Amino acid sequence: MEFASKPLLVASALLLVALPAAAGEESASVAPLVINRAIVKCPGITGVSMTIDAEQSLPLRLVSTLACGSSVAILSDTEGYTAKVRTTDGKEGYVAVMYLAAGGNLRSSDVKPVPSVATPVNGVVRWHAGAPGCDEFLSRGRHVESITANGITVQVSLQDSGWKYRANVAVSNQSGSTIDVQPGIVTLAELEPVLRALPATDVNKVAHASTSHQVLWTLADAVPSPSAVSRTSSKSIADRIAHRSNPTDDYMSPHMTLASARPGVFERTESVDAESIALRPVALKPQQNAAGVMWFARDDRAHELSLRVPAGGVVFDFAFAFEDRDR
């Protein structure tokens, strides 16, 4: 397929403008880089695809769908079919030049920095402390691991209730397409001291047993597995949380993270509707979030575990450990 050549006007309008200071010129400060800006035009369509790859090969790997009339900063233009652009909310990708019109200048200080993202390897992204796209924080006292990849953010925490393992799962879809969230394919596996799968428990069984087992009790909160923390790092969990390198929003639902307590310390009096907080199958549209709870079989000897959440064609793999257990 051959594409029409770009008009010279558009080609010249998409060049980066960044002229170095004249030789010998002294200045106490450096002026912000000026980047050419373009407006997204939509001849006969409702939106324009921004893709990961410059070739825009099929099937399209979308970063986002740009709205007609929106403004983008031009990062590079190599006189090809596409130009690399950055949106005002910090997303980067490639757009066909035929959909861009000159739109004036934009100072680089006005462009939101691009958040780091994880890169899938064979369809899997694994959580590792401080790695691109990986974050950790406390959500209502519970340690959360977060991974962002392909425009999707998945966040999880894991607790030991003394009856079942309880996983809080949140998914935020910031990609350009609808993704499926399917609890039936979310898995928990024990890695140490033995390797085995820990089956999920049907929410109906959880709801039936909630009055006697207090499903929101917490005996222990899982933390990142030692295997997912660099051996050369001397930072504690508290230090890493205080100085987060890839901060993300907290997508955990407050309704599923009610305060929990240890048995014998505080007796819960409120009733718990397990079905109302359970993670449910959902087709998650762009800019939508989903969150819920899952319960899994428990092994009180488990030390290291792997929680895997498939979403958008990627498996998000989280490494957890329960401390202070006999190994």
Does some domain include residue 294? yes
Who wins on pLDDT, 192 or 89? 192
Select from 110, 141, 171 the last residue of a domain: 110
- DSSP code string of 269-306: -S---HHHHB---EEE-TTEEEEEEEEE---TT--EEE
Residue 318 is predicted with a pLDDT of: 98
103 and 131 within one domain: no
Query: Closest Cα to residue 85, out of 109, 61, 66, 60?
Result: 66
Mean pLDDT (the chain, rounded)? 79
Range of the domain at 292: 124-321
Helix (H, G, I), strand (E, B) or coil at 91: coil
Query: Closest Cα to residue 103, out of 48, 44, 36, 155?
Result: 36
Does some domain include residue 326? no
Does some domain include residue 296? yes
Select from 110, 142, 157 the last residue of a domain: 110
Cα distance between residue 308 and residue 299, in whole Å: 18
Helix (H, G, I), strand (E, B) or coil at 69: coil
Query: Closest Cα to residue 74, out of 49, 111, 41?
Result: 111
291 and 237 within one domain: yes
Cα distance between residue 248 and residue 246, in whole Å: 7
The residue-averaged pLDDT of 22-32 equals 40
Pairing outcome for strands 288-296 and 187-192: unpaired
Measured CA distances, 47 to 64, 65, 176, 213, 252 (Å): 10, 6, 11, 51, 30
Select from 82, 110, 138 the last residue of a domain: 110
**Longest CA–CA separation in the chain, Å:** 79
pLDDT in tens, 56-71: 888 788 888 888 888 8
C-beta of residue 65 within 8 angstroms of C-beta of residue 59: no
pLDDT in tens, 106-134: 444 444 455 578 999 999 999 999 999 99
pLDDT in tens, 67-113: 888 888 888 876 678 888 888 888 888 998 888 887 655 444 444 45
| pTM for the full predicted model | 0.65
307 and 176 within one domain: yes
- Kindly report the CATH number assigned to the domain that includes residue 101: 2.30.30.40
136 and 102 within one domain: no
